């Protein structure tokens, strides 16, 4: 046996007892022992990586050749001259399909004398005063015609001059990046640029029924079902998330497999299928992740989520908060108020969560066991009892509910109108169910034999078809949403939304109650019912003191409000205080996730 083999054999013999004693001293938990061993292995591999000849060669190329010249002559031999320039690394994270907004990764091998500024310079906008750093430039404006018409309509000269892609300082603006003409730029010196958005972060609002997701560098949220579905017409096929919309032509009798039940993640196999479908080819080693979690989530579910994303997906950073925390963060930043009462009426439940300076006031937190799922199931039962058997048509009846139901502002008066003859009844309509052959989308019509009064869900006229399946909707249009305000009508021994808000605020100290009533924020899909906000205002006004102010805010899109708030959080300068990096997780394990995410709420 030669000396090298003998040395290797000795190392192997020494590694076994050394590993045993280190792990026993580290922790008795299996997962923390595994983390410790991974840390030791990574450190050894990193040491050998630093000693390898390729690492020293790359260092030589980077610091001895690339830094003085500004490029690598070994890679770009044809551009061996000064003046060439490439976009910054951030451009690769936000590049457009057609290279718009200075996002083309092509090297600028010729620098025009009209281009006055360079990549990496810190600048200030002359008109708006915000700070930014240049990450790319175009000799003339390169953007879609629609964008140019909207932003440069009054100044056509902006199109013919150099335009710069800049990364914004998050102390000045919540946006991530923008595109500005050269004449609006002035260089500033001796200032420190602050931006957490130099690395892309994937934001996902992981709802019980719908998953909303987007990159923090784009403005196009993706909304897909958070479930796996099967159809009786395609028994051998499983449809994941939005595949049901794109690849399943017939949506009757769908069978849902939901990963979340009663507000808790119970089926990890189903959830991972949806996540894998959503994540696609996202390079998580250089991309962070911000995800919402259920309210009052169980600790072992939280720990499992942390382990999956750090150890299996290997995300660069991770943060998890419930939707109300993200919404409260955005509301407090927008209004500069220290108080907000978030009402989140979603798929499984309705939660009422008061906040003070970003912290939950747990004594006032309330949950109502009424959500969109219960309303859809109740509507299926009513229609099946009175008209057609639709107990297996969850997808279709959910669309019907969203298209025709509304919240009553005067329940007794609406009930009186619903008893009038058909010609005088303002609430009665006929809803045409889709058959997915001739009728792809359900629509409504006035309850008449004539075919001249047929309308789409958006109110436009539609031609009639043969062999239509019609559901007559009358009192169901407002009695189903009424459950949100009076759950006792179907045997649920709980207060409605308005009364629960009142009870929640009454549990808080008296001196902050007026501030809570003055800062009520509505989120969740059920808030889209027509008259929802007005009904809530009327009921609360009759309950609270006359001298208390009352202000209820309904966002433009309550479904994606938590997602939009999460995007703004990731683009803020203090996001590092809200997330855990891969390095921190490798050093401290799941304990740092529990400590950091709890302390930030």
Tell whether 312 and 214 lie within a shared domain: yes
Read off the pLDDT band of 327 (50, 70, 90).
Answer: very high
Kind of pairing between the strands at 317-321 and 288-292: parallel
449 domain residue, yes or no: yes
Q: For residue 197, how many C-alpha atoms fall within 13 Å in the half-sphere facing its CB?
A: 29
Read off the pLDDT band of 409 (50, 70, 90).
Answer: very high
Read off the pLDDT band of 1 (50, 70, 90).
Answer: low
Residue 30 pLDDT more than 70? Answer: no
Tell whether 292 and 387 lie within a shared domain: no
Residue 70 pLDDT more than 50? Answer: no
345 domain residue, yes or no: yes
Read off the pLDDT band of 482 (50, 70, 90).
Answer: very high
459 vs 461: CA distance, rounded Å: 7
472 vs 493: CA distance, rounded Å: 30
Of 132, 152, 187, which residue is a domain's last? 187
Of 187, 218, 253, which residue is a domain's last? 187
In this predicted model, what pLDDT tens digit does every residue of 417-445 receive, in sequence order?
989 988 888 888 888 888 877 887 888 88
470 vs 397: CA distance, rounded Å: 12
5 vs 74: CA distance, rounded Å: 39
The pLDDT of residue 198: 52
244 domain residue, yes or no: no
Tell whether 501 and 363 lie within a shared domain: yes
Question: Among 81-85, 176-180, 365-369, 518-522, where is mean pLDDT lowest?
Answer: 81-85
475 vs 459: CA distance, rounded Å: 20
The pLDDT of residue 437: 79
Residue 301 pLDDT more than 60? Answer: yes
The pLDDT of residue 203: 93
E strands present in 463-509: 469-473
289 domain residue, yes or no: yes
In this predicted model, what pLDDT tens digit does every residue of 232-269 receive, in sequence order?
888 888 899 888 888 888 888 888 889 988 888 889 99
Tell whether 410 and 476 lie within a shared domain: yes
CA dihedral sign, ordered 427, 433, 439, 441: positive
Mean pLDDT across the stretch 505-531? Answer: 93
CA dihedral sign, ordered 98, 104, 108, 111: positive
In this predicted model, what pLDDT tens digit does every residue of 527-555 receive, in sequence order?
999 999 999 999 999 999 989 999 999 99
Kindly report the CATH number assigned to the domain that includes residue 583.
Answer: 3.30.420.40
Which residues lie below 8 Å from residue 422, measured CB to CB, with a gap of 6+?
428, 447
Mean pLDDT across the stretch 93-110? Answer: 64
Tokens 């942390």, residue? 306
The pLDDT of residue 499: 94
255 domain residue, yes or no: no
The pLDDT of residue 232: 84
- Smallest CA-to-CA distance from 433 within 410, 465, 407, 460 is with 465
The pLDDT of residue 498: 94
Q: Based on the number of CB atoms within 10 Å of its own CB, is 450 exposed (0-12), middle (13-18) or buried (19 or more)?
A: exposed
Residue 306 pLDDT more than 80? Answer: yes
23 vs 20: CA distance, rounded Å: 5
60 vs 69: CA distance, rounded Å: 13
Mean pLDDT across the stretch 185-202? Answer: 71
| Structural domain total, the chain | 6
564 domain residue, yes or no: no
Tell whether 523 and 460 lie within a shared domain: no
34 domain residue, yes or no: yes
Mean pLDDT across the stretch 562-577? Answer: 87
Residue 78 pLDDT more than 80? Answer: no
Tell whether 66 and 22 lie within a shared domain: no
Question: Domain range spanning residue 130?
Answer: 89-187
Structure-model confidence comparison of residues 147 and 71, the more confident one: 147
Residue 563 pLDDT more than 80? Answer: yes
Residue 96 pLDDT more than 60? Answer: no
Mean pLDDT across the stretch 88-95? Answer: 52
- Smallest CA-to-CA distance from 241 within 253, 262, 259, 214 is with 259
Which residues lie below 8 Å from residue 341, measured CB to CB, with a gap of 6+?
352, 353, 354, 355, 501, 504, 505, 516, 517, 519, 520, 521
Tell whether 280 and 310 lie within a shared domain: yes
500 vs 504: CA distance, rounded Å: 6
Residue 98 pLDDT more than 90? Answer: no
Kindly report the CATH number assigned to the domain that includes residue 432.
Answer: 3.90.640.10
> Which residues face 345 on adjacent strands?
350
Tell whether 102 and 170 lie within a shared domain: yes
Residue 119 pLDDT more than 90? Answer: no
Structure-model confidence comparison of residues 356 and 444, the more confident one: 356
246 domain residue, yes or no: no
- Whether residue 412 contacts residue 403, with contact meaning beta carbons closer than 8 Å, is answered with no
564 vs 327: CA distance, rounded Å: 9
Supply the Cα-derived Rg of the chain in whole angstroms. 29
Residue 505 pLDDT more than 90? Answer: yes
Kindly report the CATH number assigned to the domain that includes residue 152.
Answer: 2.30.30.390
Tell whether 112 and 142 lie within a shared domain: yes
The 10 Å CB-count burial string (b at 16+, else e) for 552-586 is bbbbeebbbbbbbbbbbbbbbeebeebbbbbebbb
Of 455, 482, 509, which residue is a domain's last? 482
Tell whether 424 and 282 lie within a shared domain: no
441 vs 435: CA distance, rounded Å: 8
Tell whether 266 and 223 lie within a shared domain: yes
Read off the pLDDT band of 84 (50, 70, 90).
Answer: low
3-state secondary structure of 85: strand
Tell whether 346 and 410 lie within a shared domain: no
Question: Among 35-49, 77-91, 97-111, where is mean pLDDT lowest?
Answer: 77-91
Which pTM was predicted? 0.68
Residue 75 pLDDT more than 50? Answer: no
374 vs 377: CA distance, rounded Å: 5
How confident is the prediction for the chain on average, in pLDDT? 81
């Amino acid at each position: 046996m030669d000396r090298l083999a003998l040395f290797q054999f000795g190392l192997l013999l020494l590694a076994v007892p050394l590993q045993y004693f280190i792990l026993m001293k580290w922790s008795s938990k299996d997962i923390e022992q595994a983390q410790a061993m991974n840390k030791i292995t990574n450190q050894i591999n990193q040491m050998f990586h630093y000693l390898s000849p390729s690492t020293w060669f790359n260092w030589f190329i980077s610091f001895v050749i690339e830094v003085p010249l500004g490029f690598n002559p070994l890679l770009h031999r044809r551009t061996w001259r000064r003046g060439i320039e490439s976009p910054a690394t951030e451009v690769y994270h936000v590049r457009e399909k057609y290279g718009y907004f200075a996002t083309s990764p092509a090297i600028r091998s010729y620098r025009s004398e009209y281009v006055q500024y360079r990549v990496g310079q810190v600048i200030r906008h002359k008109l708006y005063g915000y700070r930014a750093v240049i990450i790319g430039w175009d000799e003339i404006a390169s953007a879609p015609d629609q964008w140019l018409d909207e932003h440069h309509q009054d100044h056509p000269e902006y199109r013919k001059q150099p335009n710069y892609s800049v990364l914004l300082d998050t102390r000045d603006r919540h946006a991530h990046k923008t595109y500005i003409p050269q004449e609006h730029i002035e260089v500033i010196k001796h200032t420190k640029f602050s931006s957490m958005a130099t690395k892309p972060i994937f934001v996902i609002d992981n709802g019980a029924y719908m998953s909303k997701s987007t990159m923090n560098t784009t403005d196009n949220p993706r909304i897909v079902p958070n479930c796996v579905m099967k159809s009786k017409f395609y028994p051998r096929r499983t449809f994941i998330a939005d595949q049901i919309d794109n690849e399943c032509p017939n949506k009757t009798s769908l069978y849902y497999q939901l990963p979340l039940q009663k507000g808790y993640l119970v089926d990890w196999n189903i959830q991972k299928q949806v996540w894998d479908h959503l994540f696609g080819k996202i390079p998580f080693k250089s991309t962070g992740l911000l995800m919402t979690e259920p309210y009052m989530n169980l600790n072992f579910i939280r720990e499992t989520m942390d382990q999956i994303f750090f150890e299996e997906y290997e995300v660069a950073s991770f943060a998890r908060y419930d939707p109300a925390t993200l919404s409260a963060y955005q509301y407090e930043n927008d209004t500069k108020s220290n108080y907000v009462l978030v009402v989140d009426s979603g798929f499984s439940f309705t939660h009422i969560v008061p906040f003070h300076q970003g912290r939950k006031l747990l004594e006032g937190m309330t949950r109502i066991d009424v959500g969109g799922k219960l309303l859809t199931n109740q509507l299926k039962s009513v229609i099946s009892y009175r008209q057609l058997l639709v107990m297996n048509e969850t997808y279709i009846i959910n669309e019907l509910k969203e298209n025709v139901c509304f919240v009553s502002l005067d329940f007794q008066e609406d009930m009186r109108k619903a008893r009038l003859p058909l010609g005088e009844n303002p609430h009665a309509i006929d809803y045409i169910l889709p058959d997915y052959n001739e009728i792809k989308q359900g629509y409504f019509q006035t309850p008449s034999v004539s075919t001249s009064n047929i309308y789409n869900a958006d109110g436009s006229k539609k031609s009639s078809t043969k062999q239509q399946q019609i559901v007559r909707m009358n009192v169901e249009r407002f009695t189903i949403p009424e459950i949100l305000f009076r759950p006792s009508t179907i045997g649920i021994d709980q207060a409605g939304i308005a009364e629960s808000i009142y009870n929640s605020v009454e549990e808080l100290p008296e001196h902050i109650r007026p501030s809570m009533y003055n800062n009520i924020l509505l989120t969740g899909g059920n808030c889209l019912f027509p008259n929802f906000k007005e009904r809530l205002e009327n009921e609360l006004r009759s309950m609270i003191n006359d001298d208390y102010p009352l202000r209820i805010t309904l966002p433009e899109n309550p479904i994606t409000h938590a997602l939009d708030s999460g995007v703004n959080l990731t683009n803020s300068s203090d996001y590092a205080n809200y997330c855990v990096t891969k390095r921190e997780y490798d050093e401290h394990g799941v304990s740092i996730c529990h400590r950091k995410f709890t302390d930030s709420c």
